[in-house]
């Protein structure tokens, strides 16, 4: 019974134990120039080791074609600021450089893409419609109209003031009941 558990136990102990020492890092390979490395960028002494073990090489460019479409059709398209015309359009270029593709149609927002093409393909953006009137789903508030002021009243300044009539006197009756005494009573 112990013999059937021993391999599993040994495997469990090995898996939970301290990690095995890692093998030493391989030494960087020397850079050898060949016929295909004519475009390789030269590195200063000391480069090519540590975090960057390989020398930086510039890949050779090759021709590609990208079909430019859009929704809605037609849209004006430009590449790197140079107008190509309306979509659909075919752009002929090369790999290895970054390009900016811009699409614009009346009533739609400008849409731009910036990337480095690596293969032939299709670029088909869906342009966003520009909304002039935003509808939030509620009716607009009523229009506020200021109240109409009455026409001004003109007053003749040279007129005599009207006489003030004396007000009739009113008869006031006072109830002469004696006030209750204040304090202790005998």
Q: In the prediction, which pLDDT does 38 show?
A: 41
Whole-number mean pLDDT of the chain? 74
SS (H, E, C) 80-126: CCEEEEECCEEEEEECCCCEEEEEECCCECCEEEEECCCCCEEECCE
- Confidence (pTM): 0.42
Q: Residues near 74 by Cβ (< 8 Å), separated by ≥ 6?
A: 86, 87, 105
Q: In the prediction, which pLDDT does 72 show?
A: 92
Residue 13 structure tokens: 């102990």
* Direct distance between the N- and C-terminal alpha carbons of the chain, in angstroms, rounded to an integer: 120
Q: In the prediction, which pLDDT does 126 show?
A: 94
Find the length of the chain.
186
Q: In the prediction, which pLDDT does 138 show?
A: 78
Q: In the prediction, which pLDDT does 10 show?
A: 59
Q: In the prediction, which pLDDT does 84 show?
A: 92
Residue 170 structure tokens: 């009113």
Helix (H) or strand (E) holding 78: strand 76-79
Which residues of the chain have a pLDDT value below 70? 1-59, 132-135, 155-157, 159, 172-177, 186
């Amino acid at each position: 019974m112990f013999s059937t558990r021993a391999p599993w136990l040994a495997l469990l102990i090995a898996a939970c134990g301290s990690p095995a020492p890692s093998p030493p890092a391989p030494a960087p390979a020397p850079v050898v120039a060949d016929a295909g490395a004519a475009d390789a960028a030269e590195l200063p002494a000391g480069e090519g080791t540590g975090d960057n073990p390989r020398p930086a090489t510039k890949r050779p460019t090759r021709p590609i074609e990208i079909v430019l479409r859009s929704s809605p059709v037609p849209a004006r398209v430009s590449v790197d600021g140079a107008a190509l015309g309306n979509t659909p359009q075919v752009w002929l270029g090369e790999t290895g450089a970054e390009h900016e593709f811009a699409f614009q149609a009346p009533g739609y927002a400008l849409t731009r893409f910036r990337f480095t093409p690596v293969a032939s393909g299709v670029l088909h953006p869906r342009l966003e419609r520009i909304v002039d009137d935003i509808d939030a789903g509620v009716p607009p508030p009523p229009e506020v109209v200021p109240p109409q002021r009455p026409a001004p009243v003109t007053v003749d300044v040279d007129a005599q003031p009207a006489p003030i009539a004396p007000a009739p006197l009113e008869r006031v009756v006072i109830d002469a009941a004696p006030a209750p005494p204040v304090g202790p009573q005998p």
